[in-house]
Structure formats: C-alpha cells, structure tokens
Amino acid sequence: MPSYPSATPAGTLPGSVPQLDVAGELLALLRDSTTEPRPDDQLEALTLAVAADLPVLLWGEPGIGKTAALTQLATALDLPLTTVIASVHEPSDFSGLPVIGDDPAEQGIPMAPPDWAVRLVRAGRGLLFLDELSTAPPAVQAALLRVVLERRIGALTLPPGVRVVAAANPRSSAADGWELSPPLANRFVHLQWTHDHDVVVRGLGGTWPRATPPRLDPAKLPGAVAFARRAVCGLLTARPALVHRLPGSETRRGGAWPSPRSWEATIALIAFATAAGSSREVLSQLVRGTVGDGAGLELLASMDRMDLPDPETLLADPEGAELPERGDLRQAALDGVVAAVRARPDRARWDAAWALLVHALRTGAPDLVVVPATTLAALRQDDWDVPAAVEQLAGAVALSRTADRAAARAAAGAGR
C-alpha cells in the first residue's frame, strides 16, 4: 500500500508550537496590566455610592470605559461581578416566571427567579451590573423597579451584600434607545462617565487607576450624619418647593431630580463623603447626580454657608481669626462680619472689624478686602475716630480701584 505523510494541524508548522497557542500567549501579554493609587474623582464618587448601598447609573458614550471601570471596581472590592444586559431580557426575567405547583389553588403560583439571581443569593454578595439600560423597552424598565429599589427578583430577595450598578448611553448614541421612566430614573445616583486623557494614555500603557473602598473615619460617623441631615433639612426648610420637583421635559425626567426618595439618598451620600473626607468635586458629582444640577448646586452653596465662621467669633478675636482659604468663602465671611456690625453698630465692634480686615489682608488676596472695607467705612459715625488700621488698607483699596479703572478702559477700547 502506498504511504502518505501524516497530516499537520492547520496553523502549525512542522516541529513548531501551534500558532494559536502562540497567539494566546500574545493575547495574555496584551491583557496584562496593573493598577496604581491615583486621584480620580469620578471613580471615587462611584466607589462611595456603591459603599453607601445606593443604585448607581453611569452615563457615557459607547466605548468610554464604563464596563471596564465596573470590572475593576468589582475586583478591588472583592465582589463577584454578574452582568445582565437589560435590553435582551423580557420583563418576566426580572419579575419572575410563573411555575405551577401541586396545588395552585391552595399554595398559589410562585414566581421563579432567573439563574443569575439564584447565584447571587447563594454567594451572599456580589456586584449586579445592569448594562445597556437605556435600550431596555418601557415594559422591562417597569420590571426593573423592584430589582433596583427592593432588590427583589421573583420570589427571591437579594442579600445585603449585593450592590447594583447600571450603565447607559445617551439616547442619541444608543441603539434603539429609550428615555428612562421617571420612577426608575429617580431610584439611581446618576454619574456622568467621561474619559481623562492622561488616565487613558497611562492605562493603555498598562497602568490604570485603582478603585479603593472609602476610608471612613469611625470618629466622624455621628458628626457626618448630623451634618448631612442639617444640610438637607436646612435647605428644604428655606426652599420647600425643592422637596419634590418633577422636571417638565421627558429627557430631564430620565435623569436626576429632587424627590423625598432622592433627598434621602443625598443625606446618605453627604454623610459618607464627609466621613471619608472626600473633596468638594466628589461631593458635587454625588449631590448633583442624585437631585439634579439646580437643587444640587443650591444645596452645595447652602453647605458652604454652613462652614462659614460665626461673625461674632471673628469680631471677638480679629487678630487670631481663622478665615476660609477659598476666596469666595473668605469674601462671604468678611461680608458677614460687616453685616453683623451694621446690625449692631458700636465703636468697639467697628474697630474690631477693621482689625479683621487687616488680618485678612496679611493672610490672603488683597482684593477680597476692598468691598468690605468700603462698606465698613460707610458705617462710621461722626464721633468715631478713624482707626490706624485704615492706613494699612488704603494702599490695597487704591490699587484695586486703579486696576478696575484700567480694566474698564481696556474693555472700552476693545469695544470700539
């Protein structure tokens, strides 16, 4: 019989390693990356919201890295990740499938949950990632209401160790996209996910930012809760119309807006951010992502005023006063002192206010004392001598006015 050479597997050279194995090694090298501690406000905001056990919705254009961020977060928190593409499921996949038992008239018909929900319950912990939420039709969104808020799927209740995060593309860039229904949207903390050029370049080089759980200071917990409640309740007492404000447009209803439910979530987020010592930018993302930009910015401004020192404390010890470092807060503190002198004017308080302005001039930007000094000078009564402190302020006031006039002339010249 004639003999034939043995067949060589496709993609394999005689005496060599199969090429697909080599390709696998190359792919493994390409996937190999590491992480590093790196400040990342949006990643910190996401981690805080997850730690606070609030449902989070990441909004961002396709390919921006939402799924990668969730994968890395699950690894950092040591939580098994379960991904569910909401748009490819039926409502019954979230509300449960009816299963007829032996005696439905006596026992009813139980709603059987899907396998992924059973796995989460068995694990007792995990990160449930609902992807492509904006492509889920209204019927599926309605079925998701109980999943997001009550953590119930069919007859099962997800354990406390399970966190819920979703992702969505704006309707303009989503395939067959839908606006989120207001009841579903109001259950989420909405975070806008954008890319940072430096982070992406360094990440493509093999090093991504590391998501770390927030470091909550146990000593700050009671004070953080009290501060959060005082901040929200103080604003809503002064602005009762903000308690519940459903936006007029369909698009805005699918985002963050104020309601008793979202204000309750805001209190939790402020408490967590305060206990963790988070930056104002992180707090701003969380607050605006829960009650919307309008109400959120009002709340942030109200919280700034809460941090201002008491004008009477500043007047009692002007030389040793601790003024805010931020320019807008320092300006507000000085204006508050002048307003306190106007409300209860006397010579000693007027002199103390001048001493405080000199202290502010020495420790901060000179232009911040110009308006308070001008207003304070107008409060002088005839029998009050001009304090020596005024001489130290005169130069700053004159310089500021000269700069203002120069700027006005330059603007007038440019408009010709």
* Predicted confidence (pLDDT) at residue 407 exceeds the cutoff of 50: no
**Terminal CA-CA length for the chain:** 103
Pick from 322, 381, 327, 395: which is nearest to 351 by CA?
A: 381
145 residue type, one letter: L
SS (H, E, C) 318-336: CCCCCCCCCHHHHHHHHHH
Compute the average pLDDT of residues 353-370.
86
Compute the average pLDDT of residues 343-352.
90
* Predicted confidence (pLDDT) at residue 14 exceeds the cutoff of 60: no
Evaluate whether 165 touches 204 at the Cβ level (below 8 Å): no
The pTM of this model reads 0.74
**Higher per-residue confidence, 190 vs 336:** 190
When the pLDDT of each residue in the chain is averaged and rounded to a whole number, the result is 84
Look up residue 330 and give its two tokens. 């320092």
* Predicted confidence (pLDDT) at residue 82 exceeds the cutoff of 70: yes
Sign of CA dihedral 30, 33, 39, 44: positive
Evaluate whether 96 touches 112 at the Cβ level (below 8 Å): yes
Give the Cα separation of 127 and 167 in Å (integer): 13
Strands 56-59 and 161-168: parallel
Rg (CA), the chain: 30
**CATH dotted code for 37-99+108-209:** 3.40.50.300
Domain boundaries defined on the chain? 37-99+108-209, 218-306, 311-414
Give the pLDDT confidence score for residue 294 in this predicted structure. 93
Percent of the chain whose predicted confidence (pLDDT) is above 70: 85
Of 16-20, 240-244, 317-321, where does mean pLDDT reach its minimum?
Answer: 16-20
* Predicted confidence (pLDDT) at residue 132 exceeds the cutoff of 60: yes
Give the Cα separation of 317 and 341 in Å (integer): 14
Pick from 306, 406, 323: which is nearest to 364 by CA?
A: 323
354 residue type, one letter: W
Look up residue 65 and give its two tokens. 């890295």
Give the Cα separation of 247 and 364 in Å (integer): 42
SS (H, E, C) 39-76: CCHHHHHHHHHHHCCCCEEEECCCCCCHHHHHHHHHHH
Give the Cα separation of 342 and 377 in Å (integer): 11
Give the pLDDT confidence score for residue 326 in this predicted structure. 81
Give the pLDDT confidence score for residue 96 in this predicted structure. 72
Return the ∠ at Cα 86 (arms to 81 and 91), rounded to 5°. 125
> What phi and psi, each to the nearest 5 degrees, are found at residue 292?
95, 165
Query: Which pLDDT band, with edges at 50, 70 and 90, does 228 fall under?
Result: very high
Q: Please list the residues that pair with 85 across neighbouring strands.
A: 131
Give the Cα separation of 341 and 351 in Å (integer): 10
Return the ∠ at Cα 221 (arms to 215 and 227), rounded to 5°. 115
Give buried/exposed letters for 292-309 (b at 16+ CB in 10 A, else e): beebbebbbebbeeeebe
- The residue assigned the tokens 């609902």 is 130
Query: Which pLDDT band, with edges at 50, 70 and 90, does 413 fall under?
Result: low
86 residue type, one letter: A
Compute the average pLDDT of residues 30-55.
89
Give the pLDDT confidence score for residue 266 in this predicted structure. 97
Percent of the chain whose predicted confidence (pLDDT) is above 90: 33
397 residue type, one letter: V
SS (H, E, C) 16-49: CCCHHHHHHHHHHHHHCCEEECCCCHHHHHHHHH
